[in-house]
Amino acid sequence: MMKNRANILIEALPYIKNFYGSTIVIKLGGHVVVQEELLEHIVRDVVLLKYVGMKPVIVHGGGPEISRVMEEMGIKPKIVDGLRVTDEKTIEVARMVLIGNVGTKIVSMIGQEGVKAIGLSGKDGKLFTAKKKGTKRITVEGEKREIDLGFVGEIEEINPEMIEIVTEKSLIPVISPIGIDSDGNSLNVNADTVAGEMANKLGAQKLIMMTNVPGVLRDTNDEDSLISQISPQKAQELIKEDIIKDGMIPKVKACIDASKDRVEESHIINAKREHSLLLEIFTDEGVGSMIKKDN
Amino acid sequence: MMKNRANILIEALPYIKNFYGSTIVIKLGGHVVVQEELLEHIVRDVVLLKYVGMKPVIVHGGGPEISRVMEEMGIKPKIVDGLRVTDEKTIEVARMVLIGNVGTKIVSMIGQEGVKAIGLSGKDGKLFTAKKKGTKRITVEGEKREIDLGFVGEIEEINPEMIEIVTEKSLIPVISPIGIDSDGNSLNVNADTVAGEMANKLGAQKLIMMTNVPGVLRDTNDEDSLISQISPQKAQELIKEDIIKDGMIPKVKACIDASKDRVEESHIINAKREHSLLLEIFTDEGVGSMIKKDN
Amino acid sequence: MMKNRANILIEALPYIKNFYGSTIVIKLGGHVVVQEELLEHIVRDVVLLKYVGMKPVIVHGGGPEISRVMEEMGIKPKIVDGLRVTDEKTIEVARMVLIGNVGTKIVSMIGQEGVKAIGLSGKDGKLFTAKKKGTKRITVEGEKREIDLGFVGEIEEINPEMIEIVTEKSLIPVISPIGIDSDGNSLNVNADTVAGEMANKLGAQKLIMMTNVPGVLRDTNDEDSLISQISPQKAQELIKEDIIKDGMIPKVKACIDASKDRVEESHIINAKREHSLLLEIFTDEGVGSMIKKDN
Amino acid sequence: MMKNRANILIEALPYIKNFYGSTIVIKLGGHVVVQEELLEHIVRDVVLLKYVGMKPVIVHGGGPEISRVMEEMGIKPKIVDGLRVTDEKTIEVARMVLIGNVGTKIVSMIGQEGVKAIGLSGKDGKLFTAKKKGTKRITVEGEKREIDLGFVGEIEEINPEMIEIVTEKSLIPVISPIGIDSDGNSLNVNADTVAGEMANKLGAQKLIMMTNVPGVLRDTNDEDSLISQISPQKAQELIKEDIIKDGMIPKVKACIDASKDRVEESHIINAKREHSLLLEIFTDEGVGSMIKKDN
Amino acid sequence: MMKNRANILIEALPYIKNFYGSTIVIKLGGHVVVQEELLEHIVRDVVLLKYVGMKPVIVHGGGPEISRVMEEMGIKPKIVDGLRVTDEKTIEVARMVLIGNVGTKIVSMIGQEGVKAIGLSGKDGKLFTAKKKGTKRITVEGEKREIDLGFVGEIEEINPEMIEIVTEKSLIPVISPIGIDSDGNSLNVNADTVAGEMANKLGAQKLIMMTNVPGVLRDTNDEDSLISQISPQKAQELIKEDIIKDGMIPKVKACIDASKDRVEESHIINAKREHSLLLEIFTDEGVGSMIKKDN
Amino acid sequence: MMKNRANILIEALPYIKNFYGSTIVIKLGGHVVVQEELLEHIVRDVVLLKYVGMKPVIVHGGGPEISRVMEEMGIKPKIVDGLRVTDEKTIEVARMVLIGNVGTKIVSMIGQEGVKAIGLSGKDGKLFTAKKKGTKRITVEGEKREIDLGFVGEIEEINPEMIEIVTEKSLIPVISPIGIDSDGNSLNVNADTVAGEMANKLGAQKLIMMTNVPGVLRDTNDEDSLISQISPQKAQELIKEDIIKDGMIPKVKACIDASKDRVEESHIINAKREHSLLLEIFTDEGVGSMIKKDN
């Protein structure tokens, strides 16, 4: 069995070489971060990537956890005609939960594995600024109305210097998707988007979205309909054709955006599958769906 | 009036020279950080210190804010015979509020003033580790009992490298008093103690405790009984004599501890007095109480 | 009164921010440097600028002092048809007075204020090279003649590396306007020109000419005729129209030249007005005349 | 099978952490370097160590190869009463073979695996100086005689700067055991000794002797008599007791010497066992014999 | 006589100034390196260049030495129709002799003069890669045949970083002309070509070929027919006209190639003439032939 | 003749090696700096030292030049009972002449030779501080009186950082012996003392006093009475015995002081002898007198 270990290390060598020194942006979905044991396994995988010479950068979500705390605080989600509105109370909870709870927990787990990490949000060293998405036009009973989405933002500018400062000191950055606008307001930014734009800005070699589904499915009820590889153009079409839908849309869009510029390979994989992160990096087959330009 | 401004700048010059390049640890008490406008003023003062060449390091508390959120979440403080017990739920809230809410708000305000800041807790880059305070022996109705204080910690080791990394890059560190023990648990550490030990470890020139009282009073009902300057020895005596009591004790003790080693001057000042921070640094008289060894 | 000081420091904060890290070239005129007490006040103002994060660079003149020493040495100014000729004796005195007396005195005064300075002329580290202005054609009694201006030079090349070496080590450079030509001759260069070209080469944010007049006056006998702001184009016209004349011409020309390229704002201010340097930098109104492009 | 790979990588993580950043001196014996395929496997193992964060330093022998070339050149080994004498011709061949053939081949193989290496002998950057061992006293037919061992040396001084220069640039140093004496003569130094002293000077965490035997055997004819772990003291005794003998003596002595000072663990392992180097580092059991102080 | 020494040092000053900080590539021919005493003199000259501020880089040949060792090993040169074929045995000997013998000897001699040197071949730090020259078409008895030249290579890519690493640390690099191809084979590369391409890549100020002839001769039997200076164009013509022929061709071609790009002056000089290297650098007349573009 | 040059360069090599990287403090006496052509020759020698790897530091005097200018200004030396008193006028002239005239001229000459230099006095970067020597007790007509020597100082503290900053940037520092006291007064310090203390503080390998006499003479009228080498102890005795006297005393004392600590060899040599500086450094015999401890 010992010999087996040695053989496998040697089999992994070409993959280690290939990604040596590479920045890998890993997005941990909101459903992933609430599963303590699962998260511990993923963190250990991330730490392995760090030790074999890669530069992992974590971006996390936290929707379910925000909902749980809001519930505990007796705050009802404000839904206007099906659209969630992030009022002042909601953003306060989001900020507390994402930065103070989820981000901190991940930093702490990485520390337990012997590697230093640091929690960062858009405010720290002005890592990224955001602006309010503003209003959305909807039609209610034939009447056009505009509703203000509140403290929901989109990224305006990324200042990657902060990431460079900490990775140079061998820290793993753990990014919570809270931005700041020019008035100093906290804004909730979609974590998929943050991961995608961060990967792009950092010139990451890979963007890996760790979700609770196997990847992009043609039929969401059939795991066998998994699309292993798809070009950004084709992915765009599938969105239009409503084959890619709901929560998968921002993930795929983030991958498409990342692939436009510097990131060659983006992946949507199932976090629940054991070691899916390692399998993605250390095998040729990979797991889940890869968004990659046709050559 | 313009000439007045120039004159006063020149009057400030000797103080600027004196503290040029010095590390100043500033502790913002829990009652201070909940007053938005007051906090904004203090942040502006801190930013001024930064611009005229000092290296401010902020440590903040947050008791009242933690209580508020716990109340909103319907969590009752667990009091056993007068002692507050920090159970798992409480530490979770403390962590969220201190790191995600208070620390983040201060970082954000500093950013609004044009200076970069970064929020740090004990977990980030392993800034400080802590261990549980453990049990406390009490006597209830003639019977001796031990109660477990829960997730309350005391500092075990400070790793100041993280502070050096960020101050070198001209960021102001904002420290939330959440430590981590060797099992990865979050522990609530007294912010006064964190400030005192941090000042000591960093070799700060000054430790300034910004509170909601004028300083150390002989008679807490009489502001005229303020003690302007006191030696650590004398302060120790006043604690024994029960003249310094309650919440003032950890503040004074932190100052005494800091003065033992490298910090020459510690101050307890009234945050509510306008520009009290600047007055402390830029005038000979200062404000509040100074703990300083007799020569 | 103490509170007033704090308030004013906070009022100064936006100006401090604005010029943080900026290079400010300050030219001290020959009439300024002979007034010991006045010079001490200006030096203190310069030291303040240094402490609040600017990089002051001083260029000084010294005409009156040169004249005084020449007189003491019994040397008569050589005037040919109204033009001053700098013969070998004159340049020797100029060099001694400017470098050995005036420059050294300023360096010494800055040192007394606790900041290190260094005296530099064109020769030190080849800061700037010059070439002889050569001959000037004049008409005497209807007859055309050429007179050799002697050891008077104009700047050929500035090598700003020397300034960077010393400012990087937190020294304030004090530049005497003596250049060196390719034959090793010392040449007297107009200090206004040195200041202007140095400001330009260093990419200074401001060039400040400290003179013994209130600024550019439409009528030199009427201080109320001060022109607060003027564009380089307009200033050029006023020179042509003979409204700007005599000793003001090289000052204004230096400002015009500086504004052509990288220096946005040039100022001609009255050194005798108390703290005029600080007032220029720390107030919106400023003092004296500003040469600035129209937007 | 893919999952197996991931599991094993995670199992290897604690070992990777443990040796991260450590210097590992690996001595490749003369019988090892002549087996092309075996050498290729070992080189791949060394490259893996490099990629997972260790700093391997290779020292090689080459006795059999030297003998082969001497034979081809028709040079007969000069044996005086059983002692091999290194005359001028022999040292020339040794130098050519060790530096030009063996060292260069290893450098080349490492290069093929995508990592830069550099061949060094004692002369390069004065890595190590040596002095002649001189004469040895022997008794021939009752008569005492002294024979000069010729160009055989022992290390005088190691200058590890050269190793630091190249490892800092991520090159793997490959050291040939040819030293230089103060007269400029090349001297053949025992490779085991070079490895031991180099490990000691570099403060290596491990010294690994890769040989063609399973380790230290109590009975050289019985592989089951392998001593898994032994203290330096006990090893010394076994040498005295003639249980450790012949070619094993310099290997064990080098390990004993290394353990005296800074190297905690020295190993003698069988190079022919597949991946023995990895097994030694990535398993608790290890392979071969370990020389380690009792605690 | 003492005064004479001082005068001559001062006479040398302009030459020292002129080449201060310059890279000088010096090629030592195969006939030069076998003459011990001559080599010692040249090494001393090279060390002088180093001490007066130049950066010498040595490239050496070694044909006669390879032949000698091959003969001793009883290996017959494989000549097919007048063309030397480098088979596996030959390249092995070439590698041993060039790297292990010649290069090492030069490094050692430089060390004896108090300066550190380092032996490098194409494999070390991947200094240069090569590819096989392949086959050559010849006509034998009216029949066309292709013969494989074997392990003879031409440079593919130079990676000068290795030279910069060592010269930055004040080491003199000594380059042996053994390259490596993409399959890991050692290839013998013409040393003249290596010197020329290295000089070009390093932007050397001079390339100096030290040979056993006085320079380029119009008539190889008449030393008076030396061509002191020639343009690359003219040199090319002389090759075509068969005036430059045999072993001189690669030398002149290397000089022509070097002059195409960045190297202004290339020289072919007689190593046997005492101090010819110094005479070339420290006198206006120089020695031997200079290839230099017409202006 | 060309060959002669090469031979002599090689003869100089051991001396170059010996002083490579050494700091050499060279004091140019007041009688030396007034002889333009002589000074030019010495400067060229200094530049040679720089180019062959030494770090020359120049300290200059200027007595005769000060006297000349004072005369021209009609200032009479103030002599009280045989002691020269440096009043305010005198120090002003000394400052102008030493810094503005002599120092600047030397900097300029070095620049003409293609090397950058920088003029420094005690004030520049606070290179050295001084304090007034104060009063001297004398007896006039049997009556004891104290006279104030005025602005004459002795060194209090040397801050060699300034020298390191400029030599690191390859500039030659030229030091004028004007110090500054704590009140900001300029003080004239003996140049021999400045040279001696500077050599000591910098850990110079040699201190060379360039004077207008052949060295230390037993009989000042007999050049044949030159003492080639003398120990500091013996030199002290000769001062007591009045054999060493007058202006030679401060020179010898400076050498004695320097030798006490870190400077091994101090020399007093005749600047007028052609290339005496080079002869001192590049020959075994040297010139003039050497003060060196007996071994």
CA distances from F183 to B267, F85, F129 (A): 35, 19, 11
| Chains with ≥3 CB–CB distances under 8 Å to A | B, D
Q: From the CB coordinates, do chains E and C have 3 or more pairs under 8 Å?
A: no
β-strand pairing of D83-85 with D78-80: antiparallel
Q: Shortest CA distance to A195 belongs to which of A214, A184, A182, A210?
A: A210
How buried is residue B263: exposed, middle or buried, by Cβ count under 10 Å (0-12/13-18/19+)?
buried
**pLDDT greater than 80 at residue B133:** yes
pLDDT at C238: 95
The share of chain B scoring above pLDDT 90, in percent, equals 79
Tokens 């989820």 belong to residue: A102
Subunit contact B98:A97, Cβ cutoff 8 A = no
In this structure, are strands F78-80 and F83-85 parallel, antiparallel, or unpaired? antiparallel
Alpha carbon distance D276, D279 (integer Å): 5
Region at E203 (left for phi over 0; alpha for psi -120 to 50; beta for the rest) = left
What is the residue whose two structure tokens read 């054991």?
Answer: A274
The whole-number average pLDDT for the span E215-244 is 93
Site from A3, A9, A46 to mutate, D interface, most D CB atoms within 10 angstroms: A9
CA–CA gap between residue D202 and residue D193 (Å, rounded): 14
What distance in Å separates the CA atoms of residue D11 and residue D5, rounded to the nearest whole number? Answer: 10
Task: State the average pLDDT over residues F86-103.
Answer: 95
Q: What is the distance in angstroms between the Cα of E107 and the nearest Cα belonging to chain F? A: 18
Minimal C-alpha gap between D56 and chain A (Å): 15
Least confident of B175-189, D134-148, F267-281: D134-148
Instruction: Tell me the two tokens of residue C9.
Output: 């420091």
Residue F23 and residue E252: Cα distance in Å, rounded? 44
Quote the minimal CA–CA distance from D38 to chain A in Å. Answer: 15
At B81 the pLDDT is: 67
DSSP state of C214: S
* Arithmetic mean of pLDDT, F268-292: 93
Distance from C-alpha of C237 to C-alpha of C216, rounded to nearest angstrom? 13
> Which pLDDT score is estimated for E278?
95
pLDDT tens per residue, range C134-164 = 888 877 778 888 888 899 999 999 999 999 9
For chain F, list the contacting chains (3+ Cβ pairs, <8 Å). C, E
> Mean pLDDT of successive 10-residue segments in chain A (295 residues)?
80 94 97 96 97 97 94 84 82 96 97 96 97 83 83 94 95 97 94 96 96 92 92 94 90 91 92 93 91 84
Across the interface, whether the CB atoms of F108 and C169 are under 8 A apart is answered no
In whole angstroms, what is the distance from residue A190 CA to residue A133 CA? 11
Q: What was the pLDDT predicted at C83?
A: 67
pLDDT of residue D30: 95
Task: Give the ipTM.
Answer: 0.93
The average pLDDT across E126-152 equals 87
F1 has pLDDT over 60: no
Q: Do chains F and A touch (3 or more CB pairs under 8 A)?
A: no
Q: Give the bridge partners for D28, in sequence order.
A: D60, D210
B62 alpha-carbon distance from chain centroid: 10
C-alpha to C-alpha distance for D155 and D133, rounded to whole angstroms: 10
Count of H-run helices and E-run strands, chain C: 11, 16
Q: Regarding beta strands E135-140 and E143-148, do their DSSP bridges make them parallel or antiparallel, or are they unpaired? A: antiparallel
Chain centre distance of CA D259 = 15
- Find tokens 């230089």 and name the residue: D180
Among the partner residues B6, B12, B275, nearest to C275 by beta-carbon distance: B6
Three-state secondary structure call for residue C209: strand
Mean pLDDT value of segment F86-109: 96
CB F64 within 8 A of CB F245: no
The percentage of chain B sitting over the pLDDT mark of 70, rounded to a whole number, equals: 98
Q: Which two tokens stand for residue D289?
A: 């014999």
d(CA F30, CA F46): 17
D284 φ, ψ (degrees, to nearest 5): -70, -35
Number of neighbours of residue B243 by Cβ within 10 angstroms: 17
Partner residues linked to D246 by β-bridges? none
Residues of E in contact with D184 (CB under 8 A): 108-109, 111-112
- Dist. CA C223–CA A113, nearest whole Å: 75
Q: How many CB pairs lie under 8 A apart between chains C and F?
A: 110
* pLDDT greater than 90 at residue E142: no
Residues 6+ apart with CB under 8 A from B190: B154, B177, B250
Residue closest to F61 by CA, chosen among F100, F103, F23, F24:
F103
Q: What b/e string do you get for D6-26 counting C-beta neighbours within 10 Å, with b at 16 or more?
A: bebbbebbebbbebeebbbbb
The full set of domains in chain E, from first to last, is 20-292 (3.40.1160.10)
Q: pLDDT exceeding 70 applies to what percent of chain E?
A: 98
Cα F239 from Cα E190, distance rounded (Å): 70
Residue D212, class by beta-carbon neighbours within 10 Å (0-12 exposed, 13-18 middle, 19+ buried)? Answer: middle
CA separation for the pair B166, B194 (Å, rounded): 18
Q: How many CB atoms lie within 10 A of CB D117?
A: 29
Pairing of the two strands C206-211 and C23-28: parallel
Query: Considering just the CA atoms, what is the radius of gyration of chain C in Å?
Result: 19
Tell me the Cα Rg of chain E.
Answer: 19
CA distance C73 to C67: 10
Q: What's the pLDDT score for residue C13?
A: 93
* Residues in chain A closer than 8 A to D111 (CB atoms): none
Q: Is the pLDDT score of E7 beyond 70? A: yes
> In whole angstroms, what is the distance from residue C114 CA to residue C97 CA?
25
Q: Which of A267, A254, A286, A264 minimizes the C-alpha distance to A215?
A: A267
User: Residue C16: which residues within 8 A CB-CB, separation 6 or more?
Assistant: B48, B51, B52, C52, C53
What integer pLDDT is reported at residue D81 of this predicted model?
67
Write out the H or E segment, with its range, that includes residue F251: helix F248-260
Radius of gyration of chain B (CA): 19
What are C130's two structure tokens? 């010059």
What are the tens digits of pLDDT across the range F182-206? Answer: 999 999 999 999 999 999 999 999 9
Which of B117-126, C187-196, D280-289, F55-64 has the least mean pLDDT?
Answer: D280-289
Quick: pLDDT tens for C217-258: 999 889 899 999 999 999 999 999 999 988 899 999 999 989
Amino acid at D126: K
Say if residue C81's pLDDT is above 70: no
Q: F180 and C108: CB-CB below 8 Å?
A: yes
Neighbours of D77 (CB within 10 A): 13
Q: Select from E13, E279, E282 the Cβ nearest to the Cβ of F48.
A: E13
Where do the H-state alpha helices sit in chain A? Answer: 2-19, 30-33, 36-51, 63-72, 88-95, 104-112, 161-168, 191-202, 232-240, 248-260, 276-282
Look at residue E77 in the predicted model and tell me its pLDDT. 79
Closest CA to C189 of C211, C166, C156: C156
Which pLDDT band holds residue E286 (cuts at 50, 70, 90)?
confident
Count of CB atoms within 10 A of residue B228's CB? 12
Distance CA A233, CA A256 (A): 8
Instruction: Give SS3 for A272.
Output: coil
F134-165 pLDDT, tens digit per residue, is 888 877 778 888 888 899 999 999 999 999 99
Chain B partners within 8 Å of C52 (Cβ): 16, 51-53
3-state secondary structure at position F157:
strand
The alpha-carbon gap from C181 to the nearest alpha carbon of chain F, in Å, equals 10
What is the DSSP code string of chain B? -HHHHHHHHHHHHHHHHHHTT-EEEEEEPHHHHT-HHHHHHHHHHHHHHHHTT-EEEEEE--HHHHHHHHHHTTPPPEEETTEEEB-HHHHHHHHIIIIIIIIHHHHHHHHHTT--EEEE-TTGGG-EEEEE--EEEEEETTEEEEEE-BSEEEEEEE-THHHHHHHHTTPEEEE--EEE-TT--EEEE-HHHHHHHHHHHHT-SEEEEEESSSS-BSSTT-GGGB-SEE-HHHHHHHHHTTSS-TTHHHHHHHHHHHHHTT--EEEEEETTSTTHHHHHHHSSS-SSEEEE---
Residue C245's pLDDT is 87
The predicted pLDDT at position A81 comes to 67
Sign for the CA dihedral angle at A231, A236, A239, A241 comes to negative
d(CA D62, CA D178): 11
- pLDDT beneath 70: ranges in chain D: 1-2, 81-83, 295
Report how far residue C157's alpha carbon sits from residue F190's, in angstroms, rounded to the nearest whole number: 37
Structure confidence at residue D242 (pLDDT): 92
pLDDT of res. E294: 78
Burial class (CB in 10 A: 0-12, 13-18, 19+), D180: buried
Q: Amino acid identity of D107? A: V
> What average pLDDT does this structure show over C177-202?
95
Q: What is the chain C residue with the closest CA to F182?
A: C112
Q: Using CB atoms, which chains have 3+ pairs under 8 A with C?
A: B, F
| Side chain identity at residue E268, one-letter code | I
Give tens-digit pLDDT for E54-91: 999 999 999 999 999 999 988 887 777 666 789 999 99
